[in-house]
Amino acid sequence: MRVLAIVAVVSLVAGAAPAKPKLRGTTDVAVARDGSLLVGDISNRVLRLRGKRLSAVATIRFPVEIAIDPRGGFAVASNETRIRRVDARGRVTTLASGLAQITALAFDAQGNVYFSELGGRVRRLDRATRRISTLVDTGLNQPHGLVVDGGTLYVCDTFNHRLVAIDVASGGVRTHATGFQIPVDVDRGPDGALYVADAGGNRIARVAGGDVTTVARLIAPNGVAVARNGTIYVTERLLPRVRAVNPATGAVRTIVGSP
């Protein structure tokens, strides 16, 4: 009877459906072209949230940042030293390696990749040649978070507590907005405003026309992404979850992960 019982248990385990993925610690969030969410997790996975279904789309070591490729697929800053690209079929290729503590990624409309490094540089990876050039190498203090808007690259100058604008043609840098406490990520909304994850201020801030206002209060927001309908998606540094913010009301709800 004991042998039969063991066989029965093994059969049940073998036939069981695979466990649903769970968030262990979120790093970044991005809105894919189809409207689903891509979430970097410290479990060395990039997860996709479509509706209420969470699934693993790529296994990548410590996916620090995620950026949507305008050609399809997405790119990931892997373990802070490599830029990996994941195509629509889930195939992973390396765009660049041997880099120094990457903190953020962003594509322009032509498919070139811009990235920041903890040491203070902002650099560009050319889509066609794979050549890396440096736009800015001084004046920034541990930049995190960037977004391209036409010919301007907006970057969170994290420990100078400001948002800067970089002219991608000349490399010229100017202060775009101040009043933050450790800004770590930024995205552009469909209304043209910039939305900043202000980790030290425990808020999502909106930057428009030179004015900085608080949209919502959260716990150390870490990643921010804005959907086409204006919904703001946020990861928090201390909790494994993704939250959605209504930009009109500031209402916050958890859409996946811990309550």
- Give 175-191 pLDDT, tens digit per residue: 999 999 999 999 999 99
CA angle, 195 then 200 then 201, to 5°: 60
Query: If you average pLDDT over residues 72-85, what whole number do you get?
Result: 96
**DSSP, residue by residue, 32-71:** -TTS-EEEEETTTEEEEEETTEEEEEEE-SSEEEEEE-TT
Statement: residue 111 has pLDDT above 80: yes
The pLDDT tens digits of the residues spanning 115-146 come to 999 999 999 999 999 999 999 999 999 999 99
- The pTM of the full predicted model, rounded to 2 decimals, is 0.91
Asked whether 226 and 187 are in contact (CB, 8 A), the reply is yes
Statement: residue 46 has pLDDT above 70: yes
Query: If you average pLDDT over residues 5-16, what whole number do you get?
Result: 40
